[in-house]
Amino acid sequence: MSHDSVLFERRDQIARVTLNRPQVLNSFDRGMFLRFGEVLNEIKADRSLRAMYLTGSGRGFCAGQDIAGEVLEGDYGDHIEKGWHPTVRGLRGLDVPVVCAVNGVAAGAGANVALACDFVVAAEEASFIQAFINIGLVPDSGGTSILPRLVGVARATQMLMLGEKVAAKQAAEWGMIYRTVPLAALETEAWALATRLASMPTLALGMTKQLINSSFDNGFAEQLAAEAERQTIAGRSQDHREGIAAFREKRKPKFEGR
């Protein structure tokens, strides 16, 4: 496994992760899945981290599965269960918020990796393409679940069935992503968002994310119960005490993430 295929560093309580196979637009091969999984496990285990920042090196964000290198033999369902599912589940399962800085094209499962993050800030020059159909495959990595919820069935069908590229600005107008910025400002803006999130009540952010996740499966009554359960925990947190104290003292709160 090449450790260089996914770069990972800790900076200011933020996990900075870079997909790093630029010669193939950061498409994933077997070694990269293993390395990405390893990085996610490290982030999950490190309680000092309060946000994750994900980007790609070179001119693309991620072109999904590497379809040029390794020969994909055998059962594709099995491949995606071992490769893409832990990748997108791992991102959704992190308790820290994930900011995805999409620096260029995000294609196939690469587009759905971006959509599995909590905030997508994309360069105006970037684009999203559900490229599966163009090679005779069906969408995977959660694309058929999350995309219709984000943009509606008609637009999702357009992307998933026609396999056409959607420009980042269009994606933002459709509500598929958080916002766009010029490429030159991408790192500064997306990092500023990660920094802001890292100063917020991390415990409550993590539980908010869990509630968004469970809303995919729960009915209204179950979701109300899940909210009440998390609110009990949030209500006992140090950050809640600090939020109330700051409000009463008319000052800015200083959250510690617990």
Contact flag: residue 72 with ligand T3D (CB under 6 A): yes
* DSSP label of 55: E
CA dihedral defined by 24, 30, 35, 36, rounded to 10 degrees? Answer: 70
Whole-Å CA distances, 234 to 111, 200, 231, 245: 33, 13, 5, 15
Between 68 and 225, name the residue whose CB sits nearer to ligand T3D: 68
Q: Does 25 bind ligand T3D (CB under 6 A)?
A: yes
User: Is residue 34 a contact point for ligand T3D (CB under 6 A)?
Assistant: no
Q: Is 137 in the site for ligand T3D (CB under 6 A)?
A: yes
Pick between residue 183 and residue 211 the one whose CB is nearest to ligand T3D. Answer: 183
Nearest distance from C-beta of residue 154 to ligand T3D, angstroms: 23
Separation of first and last alpha carbons in the chain: 35
Q: Contact between 62 and ligand T3D (CB under 6 A)?
A: no
Decide whether 56 or 83 has the Cβ nearer to ligand T3D. Answer: 83
Of 48-56, 131-139, 177-185, 206-214, the window that binds ligand T3D (rule: CB under 6 A) is 131-139
> What are the CA-CA distances from residue 4 to residues 21, 31, 32, 110 (Å)?
8, 10, 9, 18
Q: Does 163 bind ligand T3D (CB under 6 A)?
A: no
* Long-range Cβ contacts of 141-144 (<8 Å, 24+ apart): 141/80, 141/84, 141/85, 141/87, 141/88, 141/109, 141/112, 141/113, 141/116, 142/88, 142/112, 142/115, 142/116, 143/109, 143/111, 143/112, 143/115
* 150 interacts with ligand T3D by CB under 6 A: no
Q: Which residues contact 67 (CB under 8 A, 6 or more apart)?
A: 27, 135
Cβ closer to ligand T3D: 166 or 207? 166
Between residues 131 and 207, which has the closer beta carbon with respect to ligand T3D? 131
Q: Does 167 bind ligand T3D (CB under 6 A)?
A: no
Residue 27 is a binding residue for ligand T3D (CB under 6 A): yes
Rounded to 5 degrees, φ, ψ at 72 are -85, 100
| Binding pattern for the stretch 91-130 against ligand T3D, x by CB under 6 A and - elsewhere | --------------x-xxx-------------------x-
Binding site for ligand T3D (CB under 6 A): 24-25, 27, 63-68, 72, 76, 79-80, 83, 105, 107-109, 129, 131-132, 135, 137, 140
